[in-house]
A and B are shown apart, each in its own frame.
Chain A
Amino acid sequence: MSYEIALKCRECGRKFELLAIYSCEFCFGPLEVDYDYDQIKAKISKESIANGPSSLWRYEDLLPCDTSFKVDIGAGFTPLIKSQSLAKHLGLKNLWIKNDTVNPTWSFKDRVVSIAIARARQFGYQDLACASTGNLANSVSAHAAKAGMRALVFMPDDLESGKVIGSLVYNPILTMVDGNYDDVNRLCTELAASNNWAFVNINMRPYYAEGSRTLAFEVAEQLGWRAPDHCVVPMASGSLFTKIWKGFKELQHIGLINNLDTRMSGAQATGCSPISKAFQEGTKNFVPQKPNTIARSLAIGNPADGYYALKVMEETDGSAEMASDAEIVQGIKLLAETEGIFAETAGGVSVACLKKLVESGVISTDEETVLFITGAGLKTVEAVVDNMKPAIMISPKTEEFMDQFNKLK
């Protein structure tokens, strides 16, 4: 059962029918799904969730789609891992890692696409499309393949090969555009206006974006139905960041968690940091940037939810940081070497920014912190390939190995 009742403009509050629309016809503000929370509260319980499937569909009462249209390749309910070594390295007493690298297409995008494709099928669409920095194209291609829909995915032409192959293997119509993500998105917005396709992050965006709330639902449930003190979340458009916060607030509203004092801090790459820069300058009016960073999945220079992300930081006494390309690589290696998790560049951004937030005292040593790792490292091997200790190269002879091995000591 689902309980969405309308789309509501986040700027002026005007309400609209639940259609494949995404911006307010009066003021052009983004539309967001509104729910009947009283009914959800009456229906949902910790027990009903615990009895649900081990996927994001255990929160179906909070998702804006008819679940009979779902396309389930196993998104969500990923591990929340207690950090020992990384926590110690950073000087934190209580650090958790939400490991979303283990989703079906190895990034959190499977969460948002799960909702978008269900809603697209509910609307009767045959074609699933997206503008992507890579991860989203992977997920759209996979889910469309499972559903027997046609996938049309658009991405910048300079992405990592893992992101390209990670889409092509599902046989979508992949278009690589000579331009950055903001150019791709602009093109796709035009295409969305003249084609009857479900663009998951354009005309499906109000539904799609809600999928990110499941990260908050899972973290709260995995902590024993409570919210952490601090969340560190990577930011591209800022949507994930704002929706995690929305998820926690909803859980409190419907009574599944009691206290909510979570501080929300965002992480960006220095080479594409419109939100973090605005935060550090004390303004909510970010200036768009032309991205130049190895963190391609975060390379959105004109972030749609940047303003709202900055509002969440203000509301929660949170913060924002940024990490250089070198720090991103160090972050990837640190996470891998301490926790055994190989993250993509966005994960390196999160780790590096967490480190800075602890070092600067923004996050105190006893704050219970959740670090969100949203994509897997094999997608972006190019970023780290030149920063690895070389392998031992030998012919299959014991003495050759021992000779080289002894040199290591």
Chain B
Amino acid sequence: MTIKVKIPTPLRSLTQDQGLVSISATNVESAINELEKQFPGIKERVCEEDGSLRRFVNIYINGEDIRFLDDLQSSIKDNDEISIVPAVAGGTIEI
């Protein structure tokens, strides 16, 4: 599956300033691992050492919080858009 991932400003130093990157993945977990392959260092910013999502990072698939779906196992379809969004003040930074 080819999907697009929106990268928030604080992580763009790792993606050569790209705000939107295309990757192949079947679920959120594999998307994060694929991002790490292409942009080393990004996973430790988004995930704890045990691979779980950091407490103040939210991930959305087409605007829906993955906690309302199947968390890191949420599946991804072709052309889906994933947003990585630092959670702030109960809300989110959407860039």
How far does the Cβ of B56 sit from chain A's closest Cβ, in whole Å?
4
Interface string of B81-95 (1 = CB under 8 A from A): 000001111111111
User: Contacts A23-B88, A28-B87, A288-B65 known; A189 to B57 CB distance under 8 Å?
Assistant: no
Output the nearest chain A residue to B85 by Cβ-Cβ distance.
A186
- A22-B67 in contact (CB<8A): no
Interface residues of A (CB under 8 A from B): 11, 22-30, 131, 181-182, 184-186, 188-190, 193, 201-202, 205, 237, 287-288, 300, 302-305, 307
A58 to chain B, nearest CB (A): 28
Query: Which partner residue on chain A sits nearest B56 by CB separation?
Result: A28
User: Which of B68, B89, B95 is A22 in contact with, Cβ under 8 Å?
Assistant: B89
Contact of A189 with B88 at beta-carbon distance under 8 Å, contacts A11-B56, A23-B56, A28-B57 already known:
yes
Residues of B near A307 (CB, < 8 A) are: 55
A237/B56 in contact, CB under 8 A: no
Apart from A131-B91, A189-B94, A237-B90, list 6 A-B contacts with CB within 8 A: A186-B92, A186-B94, A189-B92, A190-B93, A193-B9, A201-B89
Q: For chain B residues 55-92, which have a beta carbon within 8 Å of chain A?
A: 55-57, 65, 67-68, 86-92
Most buried by B among A23, A131, A205, A303: A23
CB proximity to A under 8 Å, residues B28-70? 45, 54-57, 65, 67-68
16 A-B Cβ contacts within 8 A? A11-B55, A22-B88, A30-B88, A186-B91, A186-B94, A188-B91, A189-B89, A190-B93, A205-B88, A205-B89, A237-B90, A287-B67, A288-B68, A302-B90, A304-B89, A304-B91
**Beyond A186-B94, A189-B94, A193-B93, is A27–B88 a contact (Cβ under 8 Å)?**
no
CB-CB under 8 A from B9, the residues of chain A are 193
Q: Which residues of chain A are within 8 angstroms of B87 by Cβ–Cβ distance?
A: 28, 302, 304
With both beta carbons as reference points, the residue of chain A lying nearest to B13 in the complex is identified as A25
Complex CA–CA separation, A181 to B92 (angstroms): 12
Q: Which residues of A have CB within 8 Å of B55?
A: 11, 29, 307
Which residue from A11, A27, A303 sits with its C-beta under 8 Å from B90?
A: A303
Counting chain A CB atoms within 10 Å of each CB, which of B55, B86, B87, B89 scores highest?
A: B89
B88 to chain A, nearest CB (A): 5
Interface of B is mostly: mixed
With A and B bound together, what is the CA distance between A304 and B93 in angstroms?
A: 13
A28 in contact with B90 given A11-B56, A193-B95, A287-B67 (CB within 8 Å)? no
Size of the chain B interface, CB-CB below 8 angstroms: 20
B72 CB → nearest A CB, Å: 13
**How far is B90's CA from A305's CA once the two chains are assembled, in angstroms?**
7
Q: Once the chains are docked, how many angstroms separate the CA of A188 from the CA of B94?
A: 10
Once the chains are docked, how many angstroms separate the CA of A186 from the CA of B88?
9
A155 smallest CB distance to B (angstroms): 13
Contact between chains at A302 and B91 (CB < 8 Å): yes
Are A23 and B91 CB-contacts (below 8 A) given A29-B55, A288-B68? no
Which 5 residue pairs spanning A and B have beta carbons closest together?
A: A185-B91, A304-B90, A28-B86, A28-B56, A186-B91
| Among candidates A29, A190, A237, residue contacting B89 with C-beta atoms closer than 8 Å | A237
Bound-state Cα–Cα, A127 to B10, Å = 25
CB neighbours of B86 from chain A (8 A): 23, 28
In the complex the two chains form, is A27's CB within 8 Å of B92's CB?
Answer: no
- Contact check, A190 vs B67: say whether CB atoms are below 8 A apart: no
Residues of chain A with a CB closer than 8 A to B57's CB:
28
Are B45 and A182 in contact, CB atoms less than 8 angstroms apart? Answer: no
A305 to B87, CA, bound (A): 11
Give the residues in chain B near A202, CB-CB below 8 Å. 88-89
CB distance from A309 to the nearest CB of B (A): 12
Whether A300 pairs with B56 at a CB distance below 8 angstroms is no
Residues of B within 8 A of A190 (CB): 93-95
Q: Which residues of B contact A237 (CB under 8 A)?
A: 89-90
A30 CA to B93 CA, complexed, in Å: 13
Partner of B54, one of A28, A193, A287: A28
Residue of B45, B55, B91, B95 with most partner-chain A CB within 10 A: B91
